[in-house]
Amino acid sequence: MSASNITLTHPTAFLLVGIPGLEHLHIWISIPFCLAYTLALLGNCTLLLIIQADAALHEPMYLFLAMLAAIDLVLSSSALPKMLAIFWFRDREINFFACLAQMFFLHSFSIMESAVLLAMAFDRYVAICKPLHYTKVLTGSLVTKIGMAAVARAVTLMTPLPFLLRCFHYCRGPVIAHCYCEHMAVVRLACGDTSFNNIYGIAVAMFIVVLDLLFVILSYVFILQAVLLLASQEACYKALGTCISHIGAILAFYTPVVISSVMHRVAHHAAPHVHILLANFYLLFPPMVNPIIYGVKTKQIRESILGVFLRKDM
């Protein structure tokens, strides 16, 4: 047997279907997708530029927000350009290694986003429950370490997947019934025993969602207890007002995850495009709405944005 037959167990490229069953609507579907991606790019780039330019925003809360904006840019840009190429030009082919890279970026940056949302919950907990210790606890050094830990956790958890997928023999054809290279969509094309990939994928998803969400909820339980002990109603509203943007970001990120998970387990016979549209909503919605949530609800960012436009008009 030749060396090439031994080593080349994977196709040189995969073919991404797009949204199975809705191929005839790809052009129309591309309109909201393109709009959402444009809003995500403009909104998150604006947030990054505003936070970088305004020294008053170089505080932990806004540094975490800058991390969230950077993650959302990478997350949406890892999938949307290829999706739009499929919808507009029927450019379905994706190189095998490009597919693995896309999968790695999508899943690892989703894990990073979850970690940053948890860090932001910790920031709100310290600000409301331990206000006198805020500057001592959330130092620039700690913020940097939290950011590095978020990256390290995501990379550690996701690095094994591309290497595992590279070892499989793909005998079920090169066609991926999805808009992007999602881990389980690729695994379904592989021959042999894929049980470890199945278990590992579920275990990582459950570990991230359950653990991070549990600590976020715990933080807000302590925050609510502290707020209810405040003397005046006005102080209560003011304290809770600082959390509204973060709660909105949490709901934007975790709600599609929970809905998609429930649909996979309850609606077994739902059309494939239902699950894929939910998966796309998970990729599109948080990057699009996070800048809007923080831009509208956060006074300092709103004033900084207005200040930039007013200076341009003068």
Domain count, the chain: 1
- Domain residues for the domain of 63 are 13-302
Asked if residue 237 belongs to a domain, the reply is yes
Contact of 121 with 246, CB cutoff 8 Å:
yes
Asked if residue 311 belongs to a domain, the reply is no
Going from the C-alpha of 12 to that of each of 9, 106, 164, 310, the distances in angstroms are: 9, 21, 16, 53
Q: What's the rounded Cα separation, in Å, for the pair 50 and 272?
A: 41
pTM over 0.85: yes
The residue type found at 306 is L
By the 10 Å C-beta count (0-12 exposed, 13-18 middle, 19+ buried), 66 is classed as buried
Give the pLDDT of residue 122. Answer: 96
Asked if residue 310 belongs to a domain, the reply is no
| CATH classification at residue 247 | 1.20.1070.10
Contact of 225 with 250, CB cutoff 8 Å:
no
Give the pLDDT of residue 265. Answer: 60
- What is the chain's pLDDT, residue by residue, as a tens digit (314 residues)? 344 444 557 789 999 999 998 999 999 999 999 999 999 999 999 999 999 988 888 999 999 999 999 999 999 999 999 999 999 999 999 999 999 999 999 999 999 999 999 999 999 999 999 989 999 999 999 999 999 999 999 999 999 999 999 989 898 889 999 999 999 889 989 988 889 988 998 889 888 888 999 999 999 999 999 888 876 778 788 888 888 889 999 999 998 887 877 776 666 677 888 889 888 988 899 999 999 888 777 777 877 777 766 665 55
Asked if residue 8 belongs to a domain, the reply is no
Asked if residue 5 belongs to a domain, the reply is no
Asked if residue 314 belongs to a domain, the reply is no
Asked if residue 312 belongs to a domain, the reply is no
Give the pLDDT of residue 214. Answer: 94
Contact of 106 with 283, CB cutoff 8 Å:
yes
Query: Side-chain half-sphere of 48: how many Cα atoms within 13 Å?
Result: 13
Q: What's the rounded Cα separation, in Å, for the pair 158 and 162?
A: 8
Asked if residue 135 belongs to a domain, the reply is yes
